[in-house]
Amino acid sequence: MNHDNIVQVRNIEKHFGDKIAVQGVSFAIKKGEIFGLLGPNGAGKTTILKMITTLLRQDAGKILLNGFDTLAQSRFARQQFSVTGQTAAVDEDLSARENLMIFGKLNGLTGAVARNRAIELLTDFDLLHSADQTLATFSGGMRRRLDLAVSLIGKPAILFLDEPTTGLDPRTRTQMWQAIQKLVAQGSTVLLTTQYLEEADHLADRIALIDHGRMIAIGTPSQLKQQVGGLQLRLEVADLKQVTQAQTIIQDVLAASVHVDERTLTALLDDSGMSVVSQILNQLQTAGIAMNNFAVKTPSLDDVFLKMTVGKN
Ligand SMILES: Nc1ncnc2c1ncn2[C@@H]1O[C@H](COP(=O)(O)OP(=O)(O)OP(=O)(O)O)[C@@H](O)[C@H]1O
């Protein structure tokens, strides 16, 4: 067994009646990683998360959390993680500080330790100024940050976040991202589900793409994007008479074909990526070829998602 893999999911499967919600899903998460489960509505992300967090029993396959089997050793497996959902399990009539202290005591902390831990978390999540207001006065974003803070009271080794930023405005979403990154810098491992490609791209070290209950791809955001075809170079030559010369230069540097449409030239860059771009620019300049514009476009996770899911829905 590889002890670096704090979460191990092996070939899990879940049926609801005749419907297969999850089939043959396997992945492993290393300590300190942010791992994203990405997929459209109904893909199976929540069902996978529920099986990992022992809320649902898988019909087949095995899940180990820090080495503990979620079915055979569920009590120990549950001690390894904390989970936050889309609704906070907090008391509306109490303040943020009081809620944190109650959860601290429920987690076995003494009064003094709970008080200090509450201050630490309120500071980390930028809630110290509002610490003594009742939650009724809290915005959605503040509530979500408190929810995350509450789930960290017991310093869990693994944190599961189910759509942590759904419904938040862009500014609050960025604050949540910073809070999650800070957690990982302090040694946590995070598994999050999201429907937002941008969120997975920004936050996750690796992403598993889920569609119709199956894992259709896994990798770092850049590995997934490379499967779509790497970087694309696009430039427009100012003088129509120099287009062929520019085409030859780029073809020679890339050893690949260049598509020409009037003055616009496009080509796919291989793994060498940006290093060949400066060579192309230098050679075009030496040849006295002027350009109206020049761009290198990275494929987005949207491109990956469309390419991998189109035709299967
Ligand atoms: N308790 C249940 N009984 C029957 N079908 C279910 C049950 N839970 C989930 N499903 C079905 O299993 C499939 C996967 O659902 P799941 O909630 O895991 O998807 P999801 O990726 O989390 O979607 P969303 O982004 O909308 O939350 C869906 O087709 C859903 O209708």
Give percent above pLDDT 90 in the chain. Answer: 50
The H-or-E segment that residue 69 falls in is: strand 68-69
Model confidence pLDDT, tens digit, residues 195-211: 888 888 889 999 999 98
Q: Tell me the CATH number for domain 232-297.
A: 3.30.70
Question: What's the CATH number of domain 1-80+156-227+300-313, 3.50.50.60, 3.40.50.300, 3.40.50.670, 3.30.70.240?
Answer: 3.40.50.300
> How many A from CA of 65 to the centre of ligand 1?
23
Of the chain, the percentage scoring pLDDT greater than 70 comes to 92
pLDDT reported for residue 192: 92
Q: Convert the pLDDT of each residue in 49-75 to its tens digit.
A: 999 999 999 999 999 999 999 999 999
- Residue 104 pLDDT > 60: yes
Domain segments of the chain: what residues?
A: 1-80+156-227+300-313, 94-150, 232-297
User: Do 1-80+156-227+300-313 and 232-297 show the same overall fold?
Assistant: no
Query: Regarding predicted confidence, which is higher, 176 or 243?
Result: 243
Task: Judge if the beta carbon of residue 43 lies within 6 A of ligand 1.
Answer: yes
Residue nearest to atom 29 of ligand 1 (CA): 42
- Which string of DSSP letters, residue by residue, matches 25-65? EEEEEETT-EEEEE--TTSSHHHHHHHHTTSS--SEEEEEE
Contacts 24+ apart (CB under 8 A), 185-188: 187/32, 188/32, 188/152, 188/156, 188/157, 188/158, 188/159
List, for residues 292-311, the tens digit of each pLDDT value. Answer: 999 988 777 776 776 676 44
Atom 2 of ligand 1, nearest CA residue: 16
Tell me, what's the pLDDT at 88?
Answer: 54
Distance CA(134)–CA(288), nearest Å, equals 68
Per-residue confidence at 312, pLDDT binned at 50, 70, 90? Answer: very low
Give the integer Cα–Cα distance in Å for 203 and 181.
7
Residue 175 Cβ contacting ligand 1 at under 6 Å: no
For tokens 């060949």, the residue is 276
Give 129-162 pLDDT, tens digit per residue: 999 999 888 888 888 888 888 888 877 889 999 8
